[in-house]
């Protein structure tokens, strides 16, 4: 096991990783921008290093600065959390080259799964079910238009390097296609520095089902069942639950086996999430693989009793999985709500400012993964997620009722949040 690990992130996920390290008896190093000098993750870590000004490019995305912080503090490994550098193959490679363990998959696996087109081609060869789409990525509008016109509408134009709904356009009719491809390319170039796109058939009214996997370097790969993330806003998840009401035991088994096959096809090691679209007829298609810990990982932990972050760390340290597929079972139902510093009255605009008072819900079956405290200040430089509220219940309705009560008990004063909106939604 490692003696010291640097956490290359901020907010609630940095706090979550630091707590896991503490339970494993591993020292933690926090990094922070100047804006986060007083942040909760900085207070909880054993050591903290300032890595630059508030803009992410000058701090949380500054690869060499973060590696220097690891060298300076003697950290043997880096946990990237989610977002920022978590799915950056160049960062994983830079860690490897510096003799520092990257707590996550190999640079090659990140690179492959990060390029949606190459991932499609690899998985097609492995027999994984895919949404019908264009065979290759293209920068050439005419070429991709010609290929896409052979497909059934509606279509979805997607950035090859995309995520988070960026570089994505739904196309209902042929006359809209060329304009949509041009717009998606422009957005992809701005967001990812790669303007290549591809087109696939748009699955209408799908369920968004993802499977959690764990794989070690000793040939063991397992899945820890599904999460449903169909409640989204602007292609971003806001409420997640497990188990999914859409899956029969037989379908769950088939999708779980497909998720494990995806991981094995790319030689995947560590925690990952395989995302599928499930159409109204019960046919599922591979969507993408997230090569990091997911925001919504706690609902899997609540229903399986498995600490996914601790397993990420153990696997990266060379440990073998002691969990066996046949021994894993889900118990009850869990729901997660993401709490954002956003104003629902103003189109969910980010709402930075001071946290004047904070009361977090507690009680049986209630978990709060938070990165804030009373007196803290939410800056406008980063994603406005403040916390995640997770509840467990014996069944879905019990979990839903518990979540509503917990949301009503949740108080954040000083800034607008999505708490009231989420209570109404449920």
395 and 410 assigned to the same domain = yes
Q: Are strands 221-233 and 236-242 parallel, antiparallel or unpaired?
A: antiparallel
State how far the Cα of 56 lies from the Cα of 164, in Å rounded to an integer: 17
Residue 382: inside a domain, yes or no? yes
Please answer whether residues 222 and 323 qualify as being in contact, where contact means their C-beta atoms are separated by less than 8 angstroms. yes
Choosing from 120, 252, 292, 402, the catalytic residue is 292
State how far the Cα of 224 lies from the Cα of 176, in Å rounded to an integer: 41
Number of independent structural domains in the chain: 3
CA distances from 408 to 359, 389, 402, 403, 422 (A): 11, 12, 10, 9, 10
CA distances from 4 to 10, 20, 25, 29, 79 (A): 18, 12, 9, 7, 11
The domain that holds 183 is classified in CATH as: 3.30.1490.20
Q: Read off the tokens for 221.
A: 């790969």
Residue 115: inside a domain, yes or no? no
172 and 268 assigned to the same domain = no
Specify the long-range contacts of residues 146-155, CB closer than 8 Å, at least 24 apart: 147/199, 148/177, 148/181, 148/199, 149/174, 149/177, 151/199, 151/200, 151/201, 152/201, 153/202, 154/201, 154/202, 154/204, 155/199, 155/200, 155/201, 155/202
Residue-number span of the structural domain to which 179 is assigned: 132-201
330 and 222 assigned to the same domain = yes
Active site residue 233: no
Residue where a domain stops, chosen among 201, 231, 261? 201
Please answer whether residues 46 and 59 qualify as being in contact, where contact means their C-beta atoms are separated by less than 8 angstroms. no
The domain that holds 61 is classified in CATH as: 3.40.50.20
What's the pTM?
0.91
Residue 326: inside a domain, yes or no? yes
State how far the Cα of 337 lies from the Cα of 399, in Å rounded to an integer: 12
Residue where a domain stops, chosen among 174, 201, 228? 201
Place of tokens 């003697």: 74
16 and 149 assigned to the same domain = no
Residue 113: inside a domain, yes or no? no
Q: Are strands 270-278 and 342-343 parallel, antiparallel or unpaired?
A: unpaired
189 and 95 assigned to the same domain = no
Please answer whether residues 107 and 89 qualify as being in contact, where contact means their C-beta atoms are separated by less than 8 angstroms. yes
Query: Per-residue pLDDT for the chain (426 aa), expressed as one digit of tens each?
Result: 999 999 999 999 999 999 999 999 999 999 999 999 999 999 999 999 999 999 999 999 999 999 999 999 999 999 999 999 999 999 999 999 999 999 999 999 999 998 878 898 899 999 999 988 887 656 778 888 888 888 889 999 988 877 667 789 999 999 999 999 999 999 888 878 888 898 999 998 999 999 999 999 999 999 999 999 877 777 677 899 999 999 999 999 999 999 999 999 999 999 999 999 999 999 999 999 999 999 999 999 999 999 999 999 999 999 999 999 999 999 999 999 999 999 999 999 999 999 999 999 999 999 999 999 999 999 999 999 999 999 999 999 999 999 999 999 999 999 999 999 999 999
Q: Which of 336, 332, 338, 366 is nearest to 243 (CA)?
A: 332
Residue 405: inside a domain, yes or no? yes
56 and 181 assigned to the same domain = no
């Amino acid at each position: 096991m490692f003696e010291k690990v640097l956490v290359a992130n901020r907010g609630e996920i940095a706090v979550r990783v630091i707590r896991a390290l503490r339970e494993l008896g591993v020292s933690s190093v926090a990094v922070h921008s100047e804006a986060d000098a007083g942040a909760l993750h900085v207070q909880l870590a054993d050591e903290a290093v300032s890595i630059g000004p508030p803009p992410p490019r000058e701090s949380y995305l500054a690869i060499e600065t973060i590696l220097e912080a690891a060298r300076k503090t003697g950290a043997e490994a880096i946990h990237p959390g989610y977002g920022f550098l978590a799915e950056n193959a160049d960062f994983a490679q830079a860690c490897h080259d510096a003799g520092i363990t990257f707590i996550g998959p190999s640079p090659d696996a990140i690179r492959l799964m990060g390029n949606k087109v190459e991932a499609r081609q690899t998985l097609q060869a492995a027999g994984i079910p895919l949404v019908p789409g264009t065979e290759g990525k293209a920068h050439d509008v005419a070429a991709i238009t010609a290929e896409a016109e052979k497909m059934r509408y509606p279509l979805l134009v997607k950035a090859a390097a995309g995520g988070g709904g960026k570089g994505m356009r739904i196309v209902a009719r042929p006359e809209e296609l060329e304009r949509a491809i041009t717009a998606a390319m422009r957005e992809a170039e701005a967001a990812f520095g790669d303007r290549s796109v591809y087109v696939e058939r748009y699955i209408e009214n799908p369920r968004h089902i993802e499977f959690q996997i764990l794989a070690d370097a000793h040939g063991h790969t397992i899945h820890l069942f599904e999460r449903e993330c169909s409640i989204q806003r602007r292609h971003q998840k806001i409420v997640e639950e497990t188990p999914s009401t859409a899956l029969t035991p037989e379908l769950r088994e088939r999708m779980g086996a497909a998720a494990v096959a995806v991981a094995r096809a790319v030689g995947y090691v560590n925690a990952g999430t395989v995302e599928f679209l499930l159409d109204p007829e019960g046919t599922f298609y591979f969507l993408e693989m997230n090569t990091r810990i997911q925001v919504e990982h706690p609902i899997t932990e609540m229903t399986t009793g498995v600490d996914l972050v601790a397993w990420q760390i153990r696997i990266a340290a060379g440990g073998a999985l002691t969990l066996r597929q046949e021994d894993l079972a889900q118990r009850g139902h869990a729901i997660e709500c993401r709490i954002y510093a956003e104003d629902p009255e103003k189109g969910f605009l980010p709402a930075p400012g001071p946290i004047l008072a904070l009361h977090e819900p507690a009680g049986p079956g209630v978990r709060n993964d938070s990165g804030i405290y009373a007196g803290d200040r939410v800056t406008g430089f980063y994603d406005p997620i403040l916390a995640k509220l997770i509840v467990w219940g014996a069944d879905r309705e019990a979990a839903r009722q518990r979540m509503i009560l917990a949301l009503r008990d949740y108080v954040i004063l000083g800034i607008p949040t999505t708490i009231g909106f989420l209570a109404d939604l449920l």
